[in-house]
C-alpha cells in the first residue's frame, strides 16, 4: 500500500490529537485508537483531509453552541444540530425543530421528515446528498391552554438572535453552492433583511454576496391547508429542479 492510502473512515463523535501535519491519532468513542496518514501528493487523501477539517470545525461549532446555550436562558432545552452530507451541493434551512426532532435529536424527522422526503424526491435528490439545519436549534414551545401540554410556537426574536451567529458560521463551514430556505424565518436569517417576506421571494434564485445561490420556498407546514399555495409550492419545486439540472 502506497503512502497516503491507508485512510480509515472516521465517525463524527471523536476526540483527536494531531501529532503532526499529516498524521492524526483519533480516539473513537469506543476508546479504539485509529491512526490516519495523509499524503499531500494524493488528491484523494487531500480531499479527505479537507472533509476531516470541516468535520472538526462542525464538531467544535456544536460544542461552542452547547456551551453558550448552557449559560443562557435555554440551558434546560435539548439542542438539535444540523446534519447530513459534509460536502453538499445544497443546504436546506428550516425554522426550528418540533417535537419529533427534539425527541430524536435530528432535524426534519417524523411528519416533517415525510414532507422532506417528498420534497427531495421531486427535485431528484436524497437526504444523504444534502445538509439540513434550522435557524433555531431548540424546540420553541408554549403551554396549551386546553391540555396544559407543551405545543409548538414560532421562535421568538430573542431565540433567533441567539442562534443566528451559529447558523452563519455553520453555512460558512458547510459551504454549499445552493441554500434552500423554508419559510420566513430562515429567509430573513440568510438575507439579513428583516423586511423580506416569503410571498415576494419564493420560487426565484438570488445570488448572495459570497456567490452562493439562495432559493426561498414556503415552509411545507404553511401549504397543508392552502390548496393555492400548495400548487405554487409544486411549481417552485419544479423551477428548483430545472435549475439544479442545468
- Cell numbers representing residue 169 in the block: 458560521
Binding residues for ligand URA, total number by CB under 6 A: 11
- Contact assessment for residue 188 and residue 163, using Cβ atoms and an 8 Å cutoff: no
DSSP strand E in the chain: where? 15-20, 23-27, 33-37, 83-84, 90-94, 131-134, 141-143, 150-152, 178-182, 206-207, 213-217
> Is residue 98 a contact point for ligand URA (CB under 6 A)?
yes
Cβ neighbours, 10 Å, residue 27: 13
Min separation Cβ 173 and ligand URA, Å: 19
Min separation Cβ 42 and ligand URA, Å: 38
> Is residue 82 a contact point for ligand URA (CB under 6 A)?
no
DSSP code for 135: S
Min separation Cβ 137 and ligand URA, Å: 9
**Considering beta carbons, is residue 28 or 115 the nearer one to ligand URA?**
115
Map the footprint of ligand URA across residues 104-163, applying CB under 6 A. Answer: 107-108, 112, 134
Q: What DSSP letter does each residue of 97-123 carry, written as one string?
A: --HHHHHHTSSS-HHHHHHHHHHHHHH
> Is residue 88 a contact point for ligand URA (CB under 6 A)?
no
List contacts with ligand URA (CB under 6 A).
Answer: 94-98, 101, 107-108, 112, 134, 182
Amino acid at each position: 500500500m502506497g503512502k497516503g492510502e491507508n485512510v480509515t473512515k472516521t465517525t463524527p463523535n471523536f476526540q483527536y490529537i494531531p501529532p503532526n501535519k499529516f498524521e492524526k491519532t483519533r480516539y473513537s468513542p469506543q476508546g479504539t485508537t485509529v491512526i490516519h496518514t495523509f499524503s499531500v501528493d494524493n488528491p484523494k487523501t487531500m480531499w479527505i483531509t479537507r472533509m476531516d477539517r470541516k468535520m472538526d470545525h462542525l464538531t467544535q461549532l456544536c460544542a461552542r453552541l452547547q456551551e453558550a446555550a448552557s449559560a443562557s436562558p435555554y440551558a434546560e432545552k435539548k439542542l438539535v444540530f444540523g446534519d447530513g452530507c459534509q460536502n453538499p451541493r445544497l443546504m436546506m434551512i428550516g425554522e426550528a425543530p418540533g417535537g419529533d426532532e427534539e425527541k430524536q435529536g435530528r432535524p426534519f424527522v417524523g411528519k416533517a421528515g415525510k414532507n422532506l422526503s417528498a420534497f427531495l424526491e421531486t427535485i431528484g435528490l436524497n437526504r444523504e446528498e444534502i445538509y439540513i439545519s434550522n435557524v433555531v436549534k431548540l424546540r420553541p414551545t408554549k403551554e396549551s391552554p386546553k391540555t396544559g401540554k407543551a405545543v409548538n410556537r414560532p421562535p421568538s426574536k430573542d431565540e433567533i438572535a441567539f442562534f443566528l451567529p451559529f447558523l452563519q458560521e455553520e453555512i460558512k463551514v458547510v459551504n454549499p453552492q445552493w441554500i434552500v430556505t423554508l419559510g420566513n424565518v430562515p429567509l430573513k436569517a440568510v438575507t439579513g433583511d428583516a423586511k423580506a417576506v416569503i410571498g415576494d421571494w419564493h420560487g426565484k434564485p438570488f445570488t448572495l454576496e459570497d456567490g452562493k445561490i439562495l432559493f426561498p420556498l414556503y415552509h411545507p407546514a404553511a401549504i397543508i391547508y392552502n390548496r393555492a399555495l400548495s400548487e405554487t409550492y409544486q411549481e417552485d419545486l419544479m423551477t428548483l429542479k430545472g435549475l439544479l439540472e442545468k
